[in-house]
Amino acid sequence: MLVAGLLWAADIALAAAQPPTAAIDSSDIDVEIDTAPVAVDGHVLLRVRGASSYPAHERAARISKRIEAAAADTSVAPGSVRAVAHGDILVITAGEHQLMAITGADARLEALSREDLARLHVPRIAEAVVEYRAARSAAALRQSALRTAGSTVGAALLVALLVWMGRGLERVAARRLAGGARAFRVRSVDLVGGDQLARAARGALRLAVGLAIAAVALGWLDYALRQFPWTRGLSIRVLDLLLDPLTTMGIGLLRQIPNLMFLLVLFIVVRIVLRAVRLYFDALGRGTLALGGFESAWAEPTYKLVRLALLVLALVVAYPYIPGSHTEAFKGISILLGVLLSIGSSSAIANVVAGYMITYRRAFRIGDRVKIGDVMGDITHTRLQVTHLRTPKNEEVTIPNAQILGLHVVNYSALAKTKGLIVGIDVSIGYEVPWRQVEAMLLLAAARTQGARREPAPFVHQRRLGDFAIGYELNVYSDDAQAMNLLKTELHGQVLDVFNEHGVQIMTPAYESDPEMPKVVAKSNWFEAPASRPPPNAGAPHA
> Tens-of-pLDDT digits for all 543 residues of the chain?
444 454 455 565 555 555 544 444 444 444 567 788 888 887 888 888 887 778 888 888 898 899 888 888 888 888 888 888 877 778 888 888 888 888 777 788 788 888 888 888 889 988 888 888 888 888 888 898 999 899 999 999 999 998 999 888 888 877 776 655 454 454 444 445 556 777 778 888 888 888 889 888 888 888 888 888 887 777 766 666 667 777 777 787 788 788 888 889 999 999 999 999 888 888 887 777 777 767 676 677 778 878 888 888 998 888 888 877 777 767 777 777 776 666 655 566 666 666 666 666 667 778 888 888 888 888 888 777 788 889 888 888 888 877 777 778 888 888 888 888 889 999 988 888 889 999 999 999 999 998 888 888 999 999 999 888 889 999 999 888 888 888 999 999 889 888 888 888 777 666 666 566 655 566 677 778 787 777 765 444 443
Locate all alpha helices (DSSP H) within 73-193, ordered by sequence: 104-110, 114-135, 138-180
- pLDDT score for 542: 41
Closest among 175, 165, 246 to 210, alpha carbons compared: 165
Distance of CA 273 to the CA centre of its chain: 22
- pLDDT score for 445: 92
- pLDDT score for 25: 47
pTM of the model: 0.44
Instruction: Tell me: cis bond preceding 530? Omega within 30 of 0 counts.
Output: yes
- Side chain identity, residue 355: G
Provide CB contacts within 8 A for 364, sequence distance 6+. Answer: 358, 370, 379, 382, 409, 411, 413, 414
Q: Is 88 helix (H, G, I), strand (E, B) or coil?
A: coil
Q: From CA 123, how far away is CA 61, in angstroms rounded?
A: 20
Distance of CA 533 to the CA centre of its chain: 79
Sign of the CA dihedral 17, 22, 28, 34? positive
Q: Which residues share a beta bridge with 472?
A: 427, 462
Q: Which residues share a beta bridge with 478?
A: 421
Please write the tens of the pLDDT for every residue from 54-65: 888 888 889 889
- pLDDT score for 22: 42
